[in-house]
Amino acid sequence: MVYRITAARLDRDQALRERILECALARVAEGGFAALTMQGLAEDVGIATGSLYRHFRNKGELAAEVFARASQREVDALSAVLRGPGTPEARLAAGLRQFAARAWHSRRLAFALIAEPVDPEVDEQRLLYREAYAELFGDLLEEGVRSGAFQAPLLGVSSACLVGAIAEALVGPLSPPARAAREEGHSQPDLAAVSQALVTFCLRALGARLPEDPTP
């Protein structure tokens, strides 16, 4: 008798893989990649640890896929704003504010995505996604330079600068030590202040008119 993988079996496999990834993402959102252990994850999903390895060769591969899934959501959210209606500078400001707010409201996840020390497989994904962000900004800058809203001597450099500035501006306030300090009541800048500082930095960097800038 020939053994056949039935369509139903494939569907079940796919559904389980999906559930594993969602549980893994929940773990990372809660405690960072440090909390993503194969044993703990198997318990969350309710399967044997060995079964996890039928879906993911090792923790690095799983972590990389969780990273890609979470990052793609951020890229999509940013893309929707940057490619939406409005002037280039208004869309850039709105995109930065949204990016900062999303990171702020999922701090542990955002820190995990941006900066948590983790397997090289995730570092590789980080490089790819930073390129994706740079492309998004690059498209907007190109449009803005054409319309005169922005001045950017080299689009590639300016796009990369934006990606780096955004990531780095949020790493500090999102980092576990900063969160611990906040919880202990030490004063830390709030989202509105960080977000405004980031928007000001980036719009100025591109030679764009600031909405609140009093100079003509």
Q: How far is the CB of 131 from its own copies (least distance, A)?
A: 8
Q: Which is nearer to its own copies, 89 or 119 (by Cβ)?
A: 119
Q: Which is nearer to its own copies, 82 or 167 (by Cβ)?
A: 167
C-alpha span between 122 and 1 (Å, rounded): 43
> Where do contacts with its own copies occur on this chain (CB under 8 A)?
115-124, 126-127, 130-131, 134, 152-154, 156-158, 160-169, 171-172, 175, 189, 193-194, 196-198, 200-202, 204-207
Sequence-separated contacts (24+) of 100-103 with Cβ below 8 Å: 100/166, 100/169, 100/170, 100/191, 100/194, 100/195, 100/198, 101/191, 101/195, 102/74, 102/77, 103/170, 103/174
Q: How far is the CB of 89 from its own copies (least distance, A)?
A: 14
Q: Which is nearer to its own copies, 22 or 142 (by Cβ)?
A: 142
C-alpha span between 45 and 2 (Å, rounded): 32
Q: How far is the CB of 2 from its own copies (least distance, A)?
A: 43
**Residues shown for the chain:** 216
Q: How far is the CB of 128 from its own copies (least distance, A)?
A: 10
